[in-house]
Amino acid sequence: MKIIAFNGRPRKEWNTAMLLEKALEEAESQAAKTELIHLYDLDFKGCTSCFGCKIKGGKSYGKCVVKDDLVPIIKKVEDTYAIIFGSPIYYGTATGEMRSFMERLMFPYLTYTDPMKSLFPKKINTGFIYTMNVTEEQMKEYVSIITSILMKWC
């Protein structure tokens, strides 16, 4: 069983990386093979919306056509049991590096059929570790605000 964790924070030894390492240590104690990948070590950009991955019958259908450091990483994901994303919260969301990675990882596999489906060859267990530099009281207030907004939408 292979588990890959992706650190979306530029700092390799701070909270996000430490939490990812702890999660991988636990997986290793259960006999899993693990790998931690620091996204800021890779040379890549987000999706360019070229739609090369969307051309049915094309040689790149369901695969990103951009050739950069993500090519071998995405191949690894196809052969893994689980992935863990890790990112601090910057301006209310994951880092730009993490969001660019997620675009490139997921967009090529999505079809525009009705209903929308995935071309990914299997289901992968997935988790996300978020870190924030806020007090517990600030976090409770933030959750309360978000909950209130979501309740208005429902």
**Mind listing the pLDDT tens digit for each residue in 89-115?**
888 889 999 999 999 999 988 887 767
* Cβ proximity of 77 and 83 under 8 Å: yes
- Arithmetic mean of pLDDT over the chain: 87
Residues β-bridged to residue 86: 7, 129
Q: How much is the average pLDDT of 49-68?
A: 88
From the list 50, 77, 82, the residue with the least C-alpha distance to 64 is 50
**Mind listing the pLDDT tens digit for each residue in 78-92?**
999 999 999 998 888
Stated as kind and residue range, the H or E segment containing 88 is strand 82-88
Cα(124)–Cα(120) distance, integer angstroms: 9
Q: State the pLDDT at residue 114.
A: 66
Q: What is the pTM of this model?
A: 0.82
**11-20, 62-71, 132-141, range with the lowest pLDDT:** 132-141
- Domains in the chain (CATH in brackets) are 2-153 (3.40.50.360)
**76-90, 97-111, 124-138, 140-154, range with the lowest pLDDT:** 140-154
Report strand pairing: 33-38 vs 125-131.
unpaired
* Cβ proximity of 126 and 133 under 8 Å: no
96-106 and 70-78 helices, crossing angle to 10°: 60
154, pLDDT greater than 60:
no
- Name the DSSP class of 93: B
Q: State the pLDDT at residue 153.
A: 67
